[in-house]
Structure 1
Amino acid sequence: MKQVRTVFMGTPKIAKTLLENILQAGISIDLVVTQPDRKVGRKQQVVYSPVKECALDNAIPVFQPQKIKEDFDPILKIQPDLIITCAYGQIVPDEVLNAPRFGCVNLHGSLLPKYRGAAPIQRAVWNQDKESGMSLMKMVSEMDAGPVFSEERILLDEEETTSSLFDKMADAASRLLIRDFDKICREDASYTEQDKTLVTYAKKISKDDEKIDLSRSDQEIFAQIRALSLEPGGYVFIKKRKFKILEAHYHDHSISKPLSFLGKYKNGYGLALHNGVLEIVRCQMEGKPVVSGSDFANGQGRSLIDMTCE
């Protein structure tokens, strides 16, 4: 690997996996930029981003601007040759994009120009796509509009979840960057412009998206649940309380009472849909901890048998 001054920008687990893999491959990182620490829970405990944890474990300096559009001097002081981004979480200003001589590259979880935007991985699962992929692209001012250097395609299986696809995307991003690192560290590196006529957008998952639309077909309901699995989780209402379905399998099954709970079903808890049954593997009743579907079936779920949800 070429020894170039490199800045890495990222925040969640997918970016941490990428950072771990490229460090192991011998790519040196001079500075990590990630989102500020968060306070969570009743005790307001300070939580680091996964990327910060990795950076600290590897003794890499960390920069956490509240607003990178206003605070980016530490990046420029590095005089980076290359900036690598993956799910950073803020819009990177032109001053930063234009700083490195080899440019600023991004690992984006779709086959561009399809699914530009905030939630390409979730939307691929929600829309029941058969294929997605990871793109290694050069960043420009317009969101996800930069030219593409390379891509890796990923086949989605029938029970693909956002969580499982994120893991596959992290591995694909690592392979792309490690394989092409020396190639993009050239001032004459060749990128291919996106076809503007094929652009689609993947809007951010909203709070409204988390309510499971039980009027849809079974496969559409199951796709929505998988797109929200394991986080933030899709929910239905039971007696005006949210019931989150965090992980499930679907089975064809004759139904006598649609949208009602069946009690213990296979290795989980059963919810009848229209033409089949959801085997709920992991769930959470509002105000309660996350439990397995089996434990829920043996506990609170017994009182919900035959009750309908909405």
Structure 2
Amino acid sequence: MKEIVEYTDYRKYIQDYYDERKRCSAFSWQEFARNAGFSSAVFLKYVCEGKKNLSIGSAGSVANAMGLAGYEQAYFVLMVSYAHAKSDKAKRAAFEERCALAKAHKVHVLGDEEFDYFKSWKNSVIRELAPHMPGAKPLEIAKACKPKITAAEVSETLDFLVKAKLLKKDRNGNYHQTDKAIKMAPVEAVPLAARDLQRQMGEFAILSLNLPLSERVMSGYTLGLTSRAFERIKKETEDYYRRVVAIATEDDETEQVYRLNVQLFPMSERLGTGKKCVSSKEDKNEKGCL
């Protein structure tokens, strides 16, 4: 069975624990539930199936039943707390507390670096800028950013990117990307951090409306869609992103760092089936896709 810090879903951890015990003995859901103090013989089975939720109050008892102690027990309780969190802020706090707990015991949490990377726009922008500004000091890189940031923020970001192995520094003090592109890891908390990044970039997109048309590409469509059409457009968008990344990575040189946002989201409640697909385009003086 994997180390507990490799899990983000407490249900999966409970299921793997049960499967491991079952493989080696005549362990049953009834025995498991009894050890954890539940009267229902199938309660934990239903928890694993998503039919029931484990409360934060009973998380410690389940952890004891699985033989967890010390930071492992605390980590399990934090996984349950994360699942119960109602807001992104609460989820973020539970995840960061989990990471801090693991780091205090010199254990790596899956998704930790990825989570930190997506928390701030500075990480992605400086990851693109620094390799194409050889010999530049942090202050020069800071002045090249939009919006402007401090030299101290650049230094902190560069240190993180090197530590996370997203940049490497050569003997001359110049930075190089370890990979051409970054793909989001399949960790529950990473998309949570990515939503923060998308909010930040969305705010910058609004500010960019003040730029001349020669420096930006924006337009928008309002569409009436069926579920089938939505899935097809979603697939087309994913394919489009892959083609864009392929084009962007053809050249080794960079002249300027850009952000590309493609957004498709509902503007009404679901009306039912069989609706005709219609569209209207706004901002006809501009070209491109938003």
Is the TM value for this pair above 0.5?
no
TM-score (norm 2): 0.31
TM-score (norm 1): 0.29
| Bigger strand fraction | 1
